[in-house]
Structure 1
Amino acid sequence: MRARSRGTRQVRRLGVIGGVMALMLSAGVVAAVAAPAPPAAPLVPGTPCTVTARACVDLIALKAWLVQDGRILRGPVPVSIGDEYDPTPPGRYQVEWKAKDWVSREYGSPMPYSVFFAPGGIAFHEGSLQTSSAGCVRLTRDNAIAFFDYLQVGDEVQVHSDVPAGG
């Protein structure tokens, strides 16, 4: 008899646990279904960036834009970026600081009109478009001045390396 009562208790426990699990699942407490992601901000037409960006970079097309309230203010403008050894990092950043006449501490190279936005000293700045950078986004002089004048500390910078659909 004792074996039966233990077996009955185990069946009851399993029944209670199963009932509790069923209630929790029906209430959505244990369900491991991911909630739908909030809708992404709309894209700025003609760019890979959302309307929250103030500066946009397309690493595939080698283009950049200045954006205000979802409208293109300047661009697309040509850019030079890092290579496979010193890549320009894709991501969402904020302008950290600016320096009109900066000289790279690491390379000793002038970086006029620098707008720093990513870790490791990554910045928009004036420079040759004919060669790769050490990770920065190089611009012609006129464009570097425009980016320097327009962007402010805290502004969002989006850097995209997405390959377009079908491409």
Structure 2
Amino acid sequence: MPAVSASARPVRAEGQWMGKQSRTAGRRVRVAVAMGIATGVVALGALAGTTVAQAAADPTVEGTPCTPTTRACVDLDSHTAWLFDKGAIVRGPLQISSGGPGMATPRGNFQVEWKDKDHHTSEFNNAPMPFSVFFAPGGIAFHEGSVETTSAGCVHLTLEDASAFYDFLSVGDVVEVH
């Protein structure tokens, strides 16, 4: 058999040599397949919501700034909140008020720490905080309060909405504040 240059060799069965153009195309296919697998792995990881990096890549629930894995969602810029169950909105959008200048409501991902249906704050002259659901350091909570004025950092809800948040949320539930 006469000698054949590498670039002129025909494509052979799997595991054997192939022509120069076919080798390049083969590399492109391997890269594309690897990228597809990596994309699939990232997508599965985002659905699990196990890390902060993955949570940042999660899609948001339509019409909200929050991911489907959260239970309570707050948008400070639009003064709005929602409750989610398995990524579906079950209550909201609701009007809220939040912390004013010098007492801003913290942004971030939190968990419900504790609840008190008849809480009174020692910080502000024993003021009532009905249906309190505490979720952030410094005593930040969802509770009934005026949705027309700023708070000292808490998220104020109407009485009806505060009662619903209190009944719906459990210790450990995820709260996102944007």
TM score, norm. by length of structure 1 = 0.72
Q: Which residue of 2 aligns with 1:104?
A: 121
State the secondary structure of the residue aligned to 1:74.
Answer: strand
Alignment of 1:118 with 2:118, yes or no, is no
Structure 1 unaligned runs (5+)?
A: 1-35, 161-167
For 2:134 and 2:148, locate their aligned partners in 1 and report how far apart those are by CA, in whole Å. Answer: 21
Alignment of 1:40 with 2:51, yes or no, is no
Deviations along 1:55-112, one digit per CA (max 9) or x if unpaired, are 0000000000000111100000000100111000000000000000000110121000
Deviations along 1:20-41, one digit per CA (max 9) or x if unpaired, are xxxxxxxxxxxxxxxx964722
Structure 2 unaligned runs (5+)?
A: 1-41, 43-52
Say which structure, 1 or 2, has more relative contact order (CA 8 Å, 6+ apart): 1
Query: What's the CA shift for 1:119?
Result: 0.2
121, 136, 141: which one aligns with 2:159 = 141
For 2:171 and 2:107, locate their aligned partners in 1 and report how far apart those are by CA, in whole Å. Answer: 19
For 2:59 and 2:147, locate their aligned partners in 1 and report how far apart those are by CA, in whole Å. Answer: 30
91, 110, 123: which one aligns with 1:93 = 110
State the secondary structure of the residue aligned to 1:132.
Answer: coil
For 1:49 and 1:106, locate their aligned partners in 2 and report how far apart those are by CA, in whole Å. Answer: 31
More helix as a share of residues: 2
For 1:44 and 1:109, locate their aligned partners in 2 and report how far apart those are by CA, in whole Å. Answer: 35
Query: What's the CA shift for 1:140?
Result: 0.2
Q: Which residue of 1 aligns with 2:83?
A: 66
Number of aligned residues:
125
State the secondary structure of the residue aligned to 1:130.
Answer: coil
Aligned structure 1 segments of 4 or more residues deviating by more than 6 angstroms = none
